[in-house]
Amino acid sequence: MYPELFTLNLPVLGEITITSFGVMMALAFLAAYAVVRAELGRLGQDPDLGADMLLGALIGGIVGAKIYYVLLYWDRTVLDPVRMVFSRGGLVWYGGLIGGILGVSAMVKRRKAPIPLAADAMAPGLALAYAIGRLGCFLVGDDYGRPTESWLGVAFPNGLPPTTAGNLRRLGAELGPGIADTEILAVHPTQLYETGLSLVIFYVLWRLRKHPHAQGWLFGLWLAAAGAERFFVEIFRAKDDRFFGSFTLAQLFSIVLVVVGIAVVRRCRRAGGSATAA
């Protein structure tokens, strides 16, 4: 794990620590921007619209992710609202997705471009950005899975939090009484599972991007695939938000995402047409 890469000593600003998560997030947004810009040009739209979409995704995504986080952990927010709101961490994917979609939609609408077409241009980039972003989670030791004795297991002694038996118990893992709370355990590297699956989704979307269906079809396909991927990986996650029996809150949102995605795909297939073909 490499949570911190290096520290810069800058005039006025002082010391600024460059984290691996921050670098991977920046790379994720830049990769998505490159894909969106290329797709907008192919679809006959102004490629510069991609810059506006990136700005909307940055602002809306970060604000949405933080709002979701402070609401999800409201008990902690009440005790220390300043730290919860302004800490570097605490960016939840589904909150970021909702906020990002709203931010991008506002920018596209302002430019008077077709939102379904812009969504299709964005779909492969979203899959690629998510794959890169999860590498950042792996490098800082966050969002890992349950304990495992398989060869896939990875220990995070300096993770956020470390994969000690005590922390894993607090996250809902069932461990034998003979394992001390201070013992470091190997866990499922669910961050890498998500990276691998998201790269597969990106490849499929990229191959299908010249589909003959109506605008919005590719984005609907991404919604369904992303929801299914997250639902599957949550099975292996170490989570303390299993509010629905053995189901996590993320799995509930994943089901909603899959249903919405399938509905969009079916509607666009019926509509047909070659509006997005090029």
Tokens for 263, please give them.
């509905």
Identify whether the C-beta of residue 102 lies closer than 8 Å to the C-beta of residue 55: no
pLDDT at 275 over 60: no
Percent of the chain clearing pLDDT 70 (strictly above)? 90
pLDDT band for position 28 (50/70/90)? very high
Percentage of the chain exceeding pLDDT 90: 58
- Banded pLDDT at 208 (limits 50, 70, 90): very high
Buried-exposed string 184-202: b where 16+ CB fall within 10 A, e elsewhere:
bbbbbbbbbbbbebbeebb
Comparison of pLDDT for 232 and 94, the residue scoring more: 232
Cβ contact 212:148 at 8 Å: no
The whole-number average pLDDT for the span 106-118 is 93
Which of 181, 158, 152 has the alpha carbon at shortest distance from 168? 181
Are 45 and 30 in contact by the 8 Å Cβ rule? The answer is no
> So what's the pLDDT on residue 103?
93
- 209-227: average pLDDT: 93
Specify the pLDDT at position 271.
66
Among 30-39, 70-79, 143-152, 207-216, the minimum mean pLDDT is found in 70-79
In angstroms, the CA 177 to CA 68 distance is 35
Q: What is the pLDDT of residue 21?
A: 85
C-alpha 77, offset from chain centre: 22
In this predicted structure, the answer to whether residue 246 has a pLDDT above a threshold of 70 is yes
> Confidence class of residue 276 from pLDDT cuts 50, 70 and 90?
very low
Using the predicted structure, report yes or no on whether residue 153 has a pLDDT greater than 90: yes
In the predicted structure, residue 229 carries a pLDDT above the cut 80: yes
What is the longest distance spanned by two Cα atoms in the chain?
64
Q: Give the pLDDT band (50/70/90) at residue 69.
A: confident
Mean pLDDT of 177-192: 94
**Whether pLDDT at 154 is above 90:** yes
Residue 16 belongs to what H/E stretch?
strand 14-19
Residue 33's pLDDT band (cuts 50, 70, 90): very high
Q: What is the mean pLDDT of the chain?
A: 87
Measuring CA to CA, which residue among 219, 228, 205 is closest to residue 263? 219
